[in-house]
């Protein structure tokens, strides 16, 4: 991240009437929530996605899948929003029309003060019936020590007795239609799209910054690594979310506050 890059990005944000803040797992990495594809620590480096994150996996071994998501849910419940989440909420509060669109299934944006973030890949805290889709109750996850690899039989639906499933999007499943529509609408009418902590490899979510660029928005990227989204990015801020985002908020609005 360079000072000039931060100033350029801050100018774009300060002038924006409409902004989309598009986030991925890197946003929550510094809260201790692992990403999917980072070398060594990424979940998909350690676990088999096909055995844990597909409808077939849940059909074949519901206790393995439910146990794995319970592990993730309890770990997230113990995590705290980081300075990057707080800065995202500050940007949202300053830009007249701002929408947070996240691929994350954690609730750290909400807990940092973001209002109604759009969850493209569902939520760890919204389990539902695997047959009738009725929402199910979710415990707060704070009762037990999180352990990976523990099999836990999923609860049964009070209405139809089918197993309750995690409220996340699995590989091979469609994204929630409302969430995708809201994200595409926001991306196609924004002045600025700020993408934070995503590898930009998973579709259709990765289309969102591309849609924004196609409709003329300036794309700002916050990520320590190169990504395929570099191709549509106007200002690239290489660095971790907890450093870059607070610096961006300071550069965009602190001068106003002092005036």
Q: Which member of 10, 20, 21, 53 binds ligand OAD (CB under 6 A)?
A: 53
Determine if 22 is a binding residue for ligand OAD (CB under 6 A). Answer: no
Nearer to ligand OAD, 18 or 86 (CB): 86
Cα–Cα distance, 226 to 228 (Å, whole number): 7
CB of residue 220 to ligand OAD, shortest distance in Å = 13
In eight-state DSSP terms, residue 232 is: G
Q: Residue 140's beta-bridge partner residues?
A: none
Q: Is residue 24 part of the contact set for ligand OAD (CB under 6 A)?
A: yes
Closest approach of Cβ 159 to ligand OAD, in Å?
26
**Centroid of chain to Cα 56:** 24
Neighbours of 32 (CB within 10 A): 12
Nearest to ligand OAD of 18, 89 (CB atom) = 89
For the record, the structure tokens of 12 come out as 């774009």
Stretch that binds ligand OAD, among 36-44, 55-63, 88-96, 109-117 (CB under 6 A): 36-44
Active site residue 59: no
Q: Which residues contact 187 (CB under 8 A, 6 or more apart)?
A: 20, 22, 101, 193, 208, 209, 211, 212, 215, 217
Q: Which of 109, 119, 121, 159 is the catalytic position?
A: 121
- What character string, x for contact with ligand OAD (CB under 6 A) and - otherwise, covers 201-220? xx------------------
Are the CB atoms for 23 and 205 separated by under 8 Å? no
Least distance in angstroms from the C-beta of 53 to ligand OAD: 6
Q: In terms of DSSP bridges, do strands 192-196 and 97-102 run parallel, antiparallel, or are they unpaired?
A: unpaired
Closest CA relative to residue 106, chosen from 137, 81, 138: 81
Q: Taking the CA atoms of 113, 116, 118 and 121 in sequence, report the sign of the dihedral they define.
A: positive
Among 114, 195, 227, 236, binds ligand OAD (CB under 6 A): 227
Instruction: Choose the stretch contacting ligand OAD; rule: CB under 6 A; options: 6-14, 19-27, 91-99, 153-161.
Output: 19-27
Which residue lies nearer to ligand OAD by CB, 56 or 161?
56
Binding site for ligand OAD (CB under 6 A): 24-26, 29-30, 35-38, 42, 53, 103, 121, 169, 197-199, 201-202, 222-225, 227, 240-241
């Amino acid at each position: 991240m360079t000072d000039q890059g931060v100033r350029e990005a801050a100018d774009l944000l300060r002038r924006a009437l409409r902004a989309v803040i598009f986030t991925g797992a890197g946003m929550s990495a510094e809260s201790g929530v692992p990403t999917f594809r980072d070398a060594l620590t990424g979940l998909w480096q350690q676990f088999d996605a096909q055995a844990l994150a597909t409808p077939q996996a849940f059909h074949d071994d519901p206790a393995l899948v439910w146990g794995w998501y319970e592990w993730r849910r309890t770990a997230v419940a113990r995590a705290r929003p980081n300075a990057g989440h707080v800065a995202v909420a500050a940007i949202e509060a300053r830009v007249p029309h701002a929408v947070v669109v996240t691929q994350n299934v954690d609730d750290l944006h909400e807990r940092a003060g973001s209002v109604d973030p759009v969850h493209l890949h569902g939520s760890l805290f919204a389990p539902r019936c695997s047959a009738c889709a009725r929402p199910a109750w979710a415990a707060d996850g704070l009762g037990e020590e999180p352990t990976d690899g523990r099999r836990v039989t999923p609860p049964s639906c009070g209405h139809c007795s089918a197993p309750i499933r995690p409220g996340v999007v699995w590989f091979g499943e469609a994204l929630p239609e409302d969430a995708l529509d809201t994200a595409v609408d926001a991306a196609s009418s924004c002045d600025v799209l700020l993408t934070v902590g995503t590898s930009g490899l998973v579709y259709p979510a990765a289309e969102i910054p591309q849609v924004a660029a196609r409709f003329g928005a300036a794309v700002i990227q916050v990520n320590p690594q190169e990504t395929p989204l570099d191709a549509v990015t106007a200002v690239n801020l290489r660095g971790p979310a907890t450093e870059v985002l607070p610096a961006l908020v300071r550069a965009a609005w602190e001068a106003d506050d002092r005036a």
